[in-house]
């Protein structure tokens, strides 16, 4: 396709200009009911929203919430404090331990053949450099055809940073290539990139297999360990999600030498210097402290039910995040949604018929560990769940609710949604009976037990390429109009579920679709990991 130059920006600017010239949308809402609590929920959520100050304090001042980090503990204490201020009975519930780690400042510079401060940082749980500058030449994984090639490379890595990620040939996003390319050049770029990445991955496979400890195919961690044993100074990585300026920031595979990431552009720069024999020397200065196994907690808050205290409506979101930025959309947005929903409910529905719980989980990013532990520790709560609402895919307005394979739950969902204002409901598709989700977020810890746990699936706002686990998951990415909508929705659903005369049926669909379209089975529950893989004795 031949791209037209630039009209999209002009149109967008014009659209925003038109919007700016218009008076703000009237606060009209379309209630199908005159239920005073539903009206009060709308009013509180829209006119007296606390989402912005809550999110600002959490994301800017407290910051990221890596499981087992002091930052997570500070944020949890803050959340308990807010809930208690609103009159919610809230506490930290310990469920195990995890490897504690505190990030300090880190700084990366190119010092030869020229000077440039690079955009990068050590990965979570990486050791630092004791705060001292460590300079080393950067070298890159060569093309490897055999274990002998890998061993020969290991002989060259002493005191060098080893670049283990595929270097992107372009850090321009694909849509730009489509829009501005000469005939065929975007396709040529895509093909060249794909072939180069395949060759890179084949070499990495050779390295992994040749480094396998204890047989098998070997992991990236095994390759890292072999490099460290060969005296490498550390590892450089870069995982580009495809949006300008973004890089994913996960955790280090090893604990002996630093692992740090660089932006798409800076990784490419260092890689080209190395590939062309121009002797790139990179200086890393990083502070980090490994705290050993530390206790980990979920935040649990409760408003006791006045008539049916043993039945529960649960507001669920994971509170932990990766720490490359602030964890704004993963999952600050879900967390402040549930906090604000709880605040609204304390204002307008302080004596619910059923018990309302808020659960802000830890350890989700390491395998839903906080919620899995809660389910194991509280079977009586799981048995009493009327509805659990979980939100964990970014800042967008809710567009999909699935009944998760419970064939009769659709009736309740329909009844509740029929009372939600049209402004909120108009965006939502309901999936009936839906498929029971086996993973992805904390609802799965409950769905495997057949409990009515429903994910509130949001519009993407380019979640996967822009913010999910990236260095750009920051406060400014939150879309507060959408989030306020979600508060009105979630508070309404919580109120309606808490007061419903019927207890939601757990009858499951008999026929399940498996992977590849054949018959499937209900997802099995998996045990919580109660300590980190690096814990002594594990």
Cβ atoms within 10 A of the Cβ of 502, count?
10
Both structure tokens of 182:
């000469």
Determine the interface stretch with Zn ion among 120-128, 325-333, 423-431, 501-509 (rule: CB under 5 A). Answer: 325-333
Q: Considering the rule CB under 5 A, would residue 323 count as an interface residue with Zn ion?
A: no
What's the closest the beta carbon of residue 429 comes to Zn ion, in angstroms? 22
What's the closest the beta carbon of residue 260 comes to Zn ion, in angstroms? 24
Determine the interface stretch with Zn ion among 107-115, 290-298, 322-330, 528-536 (rule: CB under 5 A). Answer: 322-330
Determine the interface stretch with Zn ion among 46-54, 242-250, 274-282, 386-394 (rule: CB under 5 A). Answer: 386-394
Both structure tokens of 336:
């402040």
Q: How far apart are CA 253 and CA 204, in angstroms?
A: 15
Whether 296 and 362 have beta carbons less than 8 Å apart is answered as yes
What's the closest the beta carbon of residue 392 comes to Zn ion, in angstroms? 4
What's the closest the beta carbon of residue 389 comes to Zn ion, in angstroms? 15
Residues 6+ apart with CB under 8 A from 465: 173, 241, 242, 243, 246
Task: With H, G, I as helix, E, B as strand and everything else as coil, classify residue 7.
Answer: helix
Between residues 96 and 332, which has the closer beta carbon with respect to Zn ion? 332
Between residues 139 and 391, which has the closer beta carbon with respect to Zn ion? 391
Between residues 174 and 462, which has the closer beta carbon with respect to Zn ion? 462
Whether 175 and 6 have beta carbons less than 8 Å apart is answered as no
Q: How far apart are CA 283 and CA 281, in angstroms?
A: 7
Total residues interacting with Zn ion, rule: CB under 5 A: 3
Determine the interface stretch with Zn ion among 194-202, 227-235, 388-396, 521-529 (rule: CB under 5 A). Answer: 388-396
Q: Considering the rule CB under 5 A, would residue 392 count as an interface residue with Zn ion?
A: yes
Residue whose C-alpha is closest to residue 257's, from 210, 213, 225? 225
Between residues 86 and 389, which has the closer beta carbon with respect to Zn ion? 389
Between residues 339 and 413, which has the closer beta carbon with respect to Zn ion? 339
Of the candidate residues 293, 323, 330, 412, the single one contacting Zn ion (CB under 5 A): 330
Between residues 331 and 341, which has the closer beta carbon with respect to Zn ion? 331
Q: Cα angle at 363 between 359 and 365, to 5 degrees?
A: 115
What's the closest the beta carbon of residue 141 comes to Zn ion, in angstroms? 31
Could you tell me whether strands 453-458 and 398-402 are parallel, antiparallel, or unpaired per DSSP bridges? antiparallel
What's the closest the beta carbon of residue 333 comes to Zn ion, in angstroms? 10
Q: How far apart are CA 503 and CA 311, in angstroms?
A: 9
Both structure tokens of 71:
């930052």
Q: 3-state DSSP: the chain helix, strand, coil percent, rounded to 5?
A: 40, 20, 40
Q: How far apart are CA 54 and CA 179, in angstroms?
A: 39
Between residues 73 and 330, which has the closer beta carbon with respect to Zn ion? 330
What's the closest the beta carbon of residue 331 comes to Zn ion, in angstroms? 4
- What is the gyration radius of the CA atoms in the chain, in angstroms? 25
What's the closest the beta carbon of residue 45 comes to Zn ion, in angstroms? 23
Q: How far apart are CA 447 and CA 438, in angstroms?
A: 7
Between residues 392 and 473, which has the closer beta carbon with respect to Zn ion? 392
Determine the interface stretch with Zn ion among 277-285, 351-359, 387-395, 474-482 (rule: CB under 5 A). Answer: 387-395
b/e 517-531 (16+ beta carbons within 10 angstroms → b): eeebebbebeebbbb
Between residues 328 and 491, which has the closer beta carbon with respect to Zn ion? 328
Q: How far apart are CA 229 and CA 220, in angstroms?
A: 14
What's the closest the beta carbon of residue 350 comes to Zn ion, in angstroms? 30
What's the closest the beta carbon of residue 161 comes to Zn ion, in angstroms? 31
Q: How far apart are CA 55 and CA 347, in angstroms?
A: 19
Site for Zn ion in 47-66 (CB under 5 A): none
Determine the interface stretch with Zn ion among 96-104, 234-242, 302-310, 390-398 (rule: CB under 5 A). Answer: 390-398
Site for Zn ion in 254-313 (CB under 5 A): none
Q: Considering the rule CB under 5 A, would residue 331 count as an interface residue with Zn ion?
A: yes
CA distances from 488 to 38, 43, 57, 131, 317 (A): 9, 9, 22, 47, 17
Q: How far apart are CA 139 and CA 285, in angstroms?
A: 19
Q: How far apart are CA 435 and CA 520, in angstroms?
A: 10
- Using CB under 5 A as the criterion, what x/- string covers residues 452-491 for binding Zn ion? ----------------------------------------
What's the closest the beta carbon of residue 158 comes to Zn ion, in angstroms? 40
Determine the interface stretch with Zn ion among 32-40, 161-169, 280-288, 323-331 (rule: CB under 5 A). Answer: 323-331
Between residues 371 and 492, which has the closer beta carbon with respect to Zn ion? 371
Between residues 331 and 371, which has the closer beta carbon with respect to Zn ion? 331
Determine the interface stretch with Zn ion among 33-41, 206-214, 384-392, 426-434 (rule: CB under 5 A). Answer: 384-392
Cross-strand pairs, 172: none
Q: How far apart are CA 10 and CA 31, in angstroms?
A: 38
Q: How far apart are CA 465 and CA 32, in angstroms?
A: 38
- φ/ψ region of 335 (left if φ > 0, alpha if ψ in -120 to 50, else beta) reads alpha
What's the closest the beta carbon of residue 92 comes to Zn ion, in angstroms? 20
Q: How far apart are CA 346 and CA 350, in angstroms?
A: 5
Between residues 286 and 358, which has the closer beta carbon with respect to Zn ion? 358
Between residues 335 and 485, which has the closer beta carbon with respect to Zn ion? 335
What's the closest the beta carbon of residue 40 comes to Zn ion, in angstroms? 31
Report the interface residues with Zn ion, using CB under 5 A: 330-331, 392
């Amino acid at each position: 396709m031949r791209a037209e130059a630039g009209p999209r920006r002009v149109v967008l600017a014009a659209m925003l200009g038109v919007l700016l010239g218009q008076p703000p949308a009237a606060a009209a809402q379309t209630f199908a009911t005159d239920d005073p609590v539903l009206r009060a929920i709308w009013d509180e959520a829209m006119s007296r929203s606390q989402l912005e100050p809550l999110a600002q304090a959490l994301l800017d001042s407290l910051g990221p919430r890596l499981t087992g980090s002091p930052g997570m503990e500070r944020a949890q204490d803050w959340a308990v404090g807010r809930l208690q201020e609103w009159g919610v009975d809230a506490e930290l519930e310990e469920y195990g331990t995890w490897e504690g780690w505190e990030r300090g400042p880190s700084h990366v510079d190119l010092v030869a053949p020229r000077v440039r401060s690079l955009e990068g940082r050590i990965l979570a749980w990486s050791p630092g450099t004791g705060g001292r500058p460590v300079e080393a030449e950067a070298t890159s994984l060569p093309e490897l055809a055999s274990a002998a090639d890998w061993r020969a490379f290991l002989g060259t890595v002493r005191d060098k940073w080893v670049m283990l990620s595929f270097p992107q040939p372009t850090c321009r996003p694909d849509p730009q290539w489509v829009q501005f390319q000469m005939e065929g050049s975007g396709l040529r770029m895509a093909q060249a990139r794909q072939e180069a990445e395949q060759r890179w991955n084949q070499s990495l496979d050779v390295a992994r297999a040749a480094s396998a400890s204890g047989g098998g195919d070997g992991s990236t961690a095994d390759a890292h360990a072999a490099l460290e044993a060969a005296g490498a100074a550390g590892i450089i990585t870069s995982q580009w999600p495809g949006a300008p300026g973004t890089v994913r920031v996960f955790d280090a595979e090893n604990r002996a030498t630093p692992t740090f990431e660089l932006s798409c552009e800076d990784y490419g720069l260092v890689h080209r210097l190395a590939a062309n024999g121009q002797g790139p020397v990179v200086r890393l200065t990083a502070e980090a402290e490994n705290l050993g196994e530390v206790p980990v907690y979920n935040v649990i808050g409760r408003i006791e039910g006045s008539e049916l205290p043993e039945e529960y409506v649960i507001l669920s979101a994971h509170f932990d995040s990766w720490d490359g930025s602030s964890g704004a959309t993963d999952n600050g947005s879900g967390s402040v949604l549930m906090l604000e929903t709880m605040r609204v409910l304390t204002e307008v529905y302080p004596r619910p018929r059923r018990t309302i719980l808020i659960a802000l989980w830890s350890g989700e990013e390491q395998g839903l560990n906080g919620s899995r532990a809660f389910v194991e520790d509280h079977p009586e709560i799981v048995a009493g769940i009327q509805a659990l609402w979980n939100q964990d895919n970014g800042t967008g307005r809710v567009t999909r609710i699935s009944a998760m394979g419970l064939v009769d739950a659709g009736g309740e969902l329909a009844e509740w949604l029929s009372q939600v204002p049209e402004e909120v409901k108009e965006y939502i598709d309901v999936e009936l009976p839906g498929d029971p989700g086996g993973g992805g977020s904390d609802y799965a810890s409950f769905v495997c037990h057949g409990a009515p746990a429903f994910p509130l699936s949001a519009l993407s706002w380019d979640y996967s390429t822009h913010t999910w686990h990236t260095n750009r998951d920051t406060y400014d990415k939150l879309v507060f109009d959408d989030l306020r909508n979600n508060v009105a929705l979630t508070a309404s659903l919580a109120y309606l579920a808490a007061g419903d005369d019927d207890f939601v049926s757990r009858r499951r669909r008999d026929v399940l679709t498996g992977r590849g379209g054949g018959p499937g089975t209900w997802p099995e529950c998996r045990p919580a990991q109660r300590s980190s893989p690096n814990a002594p004795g594990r």
